[in-house]
Amino acid sequence: MATPAPVIHGWTASGYDEVRRMYEYCFTHLADRGSSFCVYVDGERVVDLWAGHSSLPRSVRATTTTSRSPNNEQPPGASDGVVEWRPDTVVNVFSCTKVMANLCLVLLVQRGACAWTDPVSKVSE
């Protein structure tokens, strides 16, 4: 079931309109709450999008201990406890390194530096 998408901010270069449509799909069909997405091709920025919010409403935050500030203050710019995503919103990258490590391995395999079946010890030589 589709949900209304938030306002998608930012831009896409000519030829990258489908990226914007897929980004919006993440909000309407995959329950994304807030994110940003930026792509560079050959050193040129071709996509720079952001949408949604970076914090949960106070009523939801109050049920978790990990998202509350020490003195339970509302973030600057918050309305009813919701902070809109901005192009400079800072986020954690806990599991993002797994994706980057896998992409590096894909490049190594494509370039013939290793095979999918090689032990990690060979790849790290």
The secondary structure of 28-63, three-state, reads: HHCCCCEEEEEEEECCEEEEEEEEEECCCCHHHHCC
Q: How far apart are CA 58 and CA 82, in angstroms?
A: 7
pLDDT of residue 93 exceeding 90, the answer is no
Mean pLDDT, the chain, as a whole number?
80
Q: Name the residue ranges covered by the structural domains of the chain.
A: 92-125
Q: How far apart are CA 84 and CA 51, in angstroms?
A: 8
Q: How far apart are CA 57 and CA 78, in angstroms?
A: 9
Predicted model pTM: 0.60
pLDDT of residue 5 exceeding 90, the answer is no
User: Of 54-58, 95-99, 101-105, 113-117, which gets the smallest average pLDDT?
Assistant: 54-58
* pLDDT tens digits, 18-70: 999 999 999 888 888 889 999 999 999 999 999 998 876 654 444 444 444 44
